[in-house]
Structures are given as C-alpha cells and as structure tokens.
C-alpha cells in the first residue's frame, strides 16, 4: 500500500472513532491473562505506580523507622513477660498470642484499654507501618476513621440527602461492619483486598508526590494507628469518653506545619486515588477509562474520615488529596466541632444501645432525630467545604509505565 493510501486509511479510522459514542471512545479493554479469574482486572495495571517516593522528595517524606521482623512459633520462648491489666478477660488472649508470636518488639508493656477490650502498646505501634498484620490487629475491635461513616448511618437507605449513590446505601454494609467489630482477631493475615483498595495502596505514593510537588515546603511524616485517648476542651462538657466505642485513626500522613498559612500547627494528610477502571455488568470484564478525573467535591464519607482523624490526632486542619492519573485536586478542610459533637453523641447512643451488646442498630434507629440532625449538619458542612476553591495540581506519575498501560 502506498503512503497516501495508508494515510487515508488512518484518517478514515480516526473519523470513524470520532463518530462513535463518547463512552466507547474512552474505554480501552484490558486483556486478561488466561489463568486470571474472570472478574478480576489484569494485575499489570499496578505497574502504573511509582511504588516509592522518588529521591527528590526523600528529604521531605519521613516514613516510620521501625522494621517488622516476623518470628516463628519456636521463637516465643525468647519473648519478654507480658503484663496485662487485671481487668482483661479471655477475649484479649488471642490478640496477645498473635502479637507476641509474630511481632516480638510489641511484647513488652502491652496494655489493656479500659474503654474496650483492646491490647495495644502505643509507643511500639509508632514503629508499625500501615497495612501490615500488626496494624490490622491494632485496629481490630475499633470504630476507625475510615469505617465511622457506616456506624453514623451514612450508608443507610434513609441517607439519600448526602449524595451517596443508591447502590452503596444498604443496611447490610452496617451489619457486616458490626460483625467484623465483634469477631475474634485472626492470625491468618490481612483480609484480601478488592480492586479499589489495591489500586489505592499501590498508587498512594503518586498522590503523596503530587502533594509534595505542589507544596514545596511541606514535610510529611507517616502515621501509624492511634487511639482516641482524650477529647478536646470543646467537647468535654457534652461527651463522656467512656460512653463511646473504641475509636482510632491512622491518616496517611501528618504535616509538621500548615504549608498554606502562617499557622504553625500541624495538619492531617489523607490521600485518595481514583480508580480509572469500570467493570462491565454483563460479562464482568474491566475497562480502562482514559478520561478518569479526581473527585469534583468532598464526599460525605471522606469528610467524616478526616474529621475523626483530626479528632484523634488533635489537629485542626486536614488536606484531602483526590488523585487521578492525569490530574489531582487538593481540598482543605477545617475541624468542625459542631459536627463532631453531633457525631459523637450518635456514636454514644449506638454503643450503649447496640454495639456494647453485640447488636446491629436497626434501620429505624437512623430515622430518629439525632441521626437526622447529623445528616443535616453534614450536608451544610459539605456545602461550605465545597464552596471553597480546591487546588488543582498536575498529577505526578510514572509516565513511562503509564504509556505502556494506556
């Protein structure tokens, strides 16, 4: 074929593609390997991640210094004696056995938390990176910042005014969360991750680099799991800490100083990565969406998460990064004590009436005035946050790997 004819063929193909529906033009099917499960995406998309922060950011990102070294069952004879408060009961012992067997540096000064049946050496936990087994064990039995919205009824069918999609608003999600809260800890390792969780963990470094690239003076420190030990003065008059369930948080990072103001106080950093894939409802195959963009606004779940993180860490401001493979948005969120008061009062009722007895709150519980007041406050707070102009940043990414994928 001569060159003019070949060029004409390309022009006709491009014109034909432009005439296709927009959704079809933006989706490129990712072929699956023969041995892959039918409804799982090709794992090769994970090569898109940088995996670690690059050298130019190393002096401004400070990961945890501790190194976990799992030991075998035979090594348990060398562990230090365990000191547990007298109030601890038999439900604590499985957690002690797992922690001391697999993570010997956590074995000294294990303590029983007086609010919930929880064993934790918080000083040692500051050397434990996120998503490892010890981190999952420490979070077990806690209402965490990432799950708190479930216990506040955000995923209940009645919570339509929060802008949460109807398929997500199912009471069964709360039932599952309560079951996980009550069940005994497992030594089998962490639970398997779905596509969205796996993408988020693999691409968190990209979102972190995007934030550091935009805020040149920021220093970010990795944060492990931390329990809520005390309430701020604004909440002590109306909230009894002993009436709450065990609450904890592990934000993606802590910023030493607010990089966007003269305020010398530190801030919370939370990173969210947008998955550029969608699954076909008919055949279960996954498709790449080249036009995938960061969230246009802060969602109710993410607002709840950063508010609880600020409560636990004692910070008054949070940076929420929504990262996509082409761009990112950085939202700034201030602590909202009125919202926290309403949320904690609802959690107190939830704990005293249901969670403390191992029961799941019924759907009608979230139709009461306390839950309705919290939803109204959430809607108002979201409107205020989203009325502020978010920072739009170019996404830092592994461009060489992304070209292979796209």
* H or E segment to which residue 29 belongs: strand 27-29
Q: Are residues 248 and 198 in the same domain?
A: yes
What number of other Cβ atoms are within 10 A of residue 175's Cβ?
A: 13
Q: Are residues 228 and 345 in the same domain?
A: yes
pLDDT score for 285: 78
Q: Are residues 266 and 375 in the same domain?
A: yes
* Structural domain count of the chain: 2
Q: At 156, give phi and psi (nearest 5°).
A: -80, 150
pLDDT score for 199: 80
Residue 1 lies in a domain: no
- As a dihedral over the C-alpha atoms of residue 103, residue 105, residue 107, residue 113, rounded to 10 degrees, the angle is -90
Reported as a single tens digit per residue, the pLDDT across 160-169 is 999 999 999 9
Burial of 381 (0-12, 13-18, 19+ CB in 10 A): buried
Q: Report residues of the chain scoring pLDDT below 70.
A: 1-56, 65-91, 102, 105, 107-109, 113-117, 185-193, 263-264, 397-406
Q: Are residues 78 and 110 in the same domain?
A: yes
pLDDT score for 193: 65
Residue 292 lies in a domain: yes
- Whole-angstrom distance, CA of residue 40 vs CA of residue 173: 22
Q: Are residues 224 and 88 in the same domain?
A: no
pLDDT score for 107: 66
CB contact at 8 A, 35 and 294: no
| Token output for 266 | 């530190």
pTM: 0.80
Q: Are residues 191 and 308 in the same domain?
A: yes
How open is the CA angle 190-191-194, to the nearest 5 degrees?
Answer: 130
Residues of the domain holding 370: 43-63+143-405
Q: Which CATH number do you get for residue 374?
A: 3.90.320.10
């Amino acid at each position: 074929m001569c060159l003019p004819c070949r060029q004409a063929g390309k022009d006709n193909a491009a014109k034909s593609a432009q005439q296709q529906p927009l959704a079809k033009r933006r989706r490129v099917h990712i072929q699956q390997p023969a041995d892959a499960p039918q409804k799982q995406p090709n794992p090769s998309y994970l090569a898109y991640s940088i995996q670690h922060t690059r050298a130019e950011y190393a002096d401004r990102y400070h990961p945890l210094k501790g190194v976990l070294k799992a030991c075998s069952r035979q090594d348990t004879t060398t562990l230090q004696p365990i000191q547990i408060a007298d109030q601890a009961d038999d439900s604590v012992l499985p957690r002690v056995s797992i922690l001391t067997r697999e993570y010997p540096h956590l074995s000294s000064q294990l303590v029983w938390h007086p609010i919930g049946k929880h064993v934790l050496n918080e000083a040692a936990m500051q050397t434990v990176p996120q998503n490892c087994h010890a981190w999952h064990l420490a979070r077990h039995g806690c209402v965490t910042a990432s799950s708190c919205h479930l216990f506040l009824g955000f995923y209940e069918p009645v919570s339509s005014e929060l802008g949460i999609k109807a398929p997500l608003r199912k009471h069964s999600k709360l039932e599952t969360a309560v079951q996980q809260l009550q069940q005994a800890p497992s030594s089998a390792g962490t639970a398997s991750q779905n596509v969205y969780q796996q993408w988020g963990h693999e691409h968190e470094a990209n979102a972190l680099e995007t934030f550091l690239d935009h805020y040149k003076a920021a220093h970010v420190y990795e944060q492990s799991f931390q329990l809520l030990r005390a309430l701020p003065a604004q909440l002590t008059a109306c909230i009894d800490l002993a009436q709450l369930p065990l609450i904890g948080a592990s934000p993606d990072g802590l910023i030493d100083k607010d990089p966007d103001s003269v305020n010398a106080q530190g801030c919370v950093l939370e990173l969210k990565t947008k998955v550029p894939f969608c699954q076909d409802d008919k055949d279960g195959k996954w498709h790449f969406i080249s036009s995938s963009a960061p969230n246009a606004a802060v969602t109710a779940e993410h607002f709840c998460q950063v508010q609880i993180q600020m409560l636990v860490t004692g910070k008054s401001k949070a940076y929420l990064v929504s990262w996509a493979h082409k761009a990112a948005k950085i939202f700034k969120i201030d602590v909202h004590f009125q919202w926290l008061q309403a949320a904690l009062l609802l959690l107190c009722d939830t704990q005293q009436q249901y969670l403390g007895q191992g029961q799941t709150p019924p759907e009608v519980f979230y139709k009461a005035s306390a839950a309705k007041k919290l939803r109204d406050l959430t809607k108002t707070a979201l409107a205020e946050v989203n009325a502020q102009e978010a920072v739009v940043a170019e996404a830092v990414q592994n461009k060489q790997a992304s070209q292979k994928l796209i």
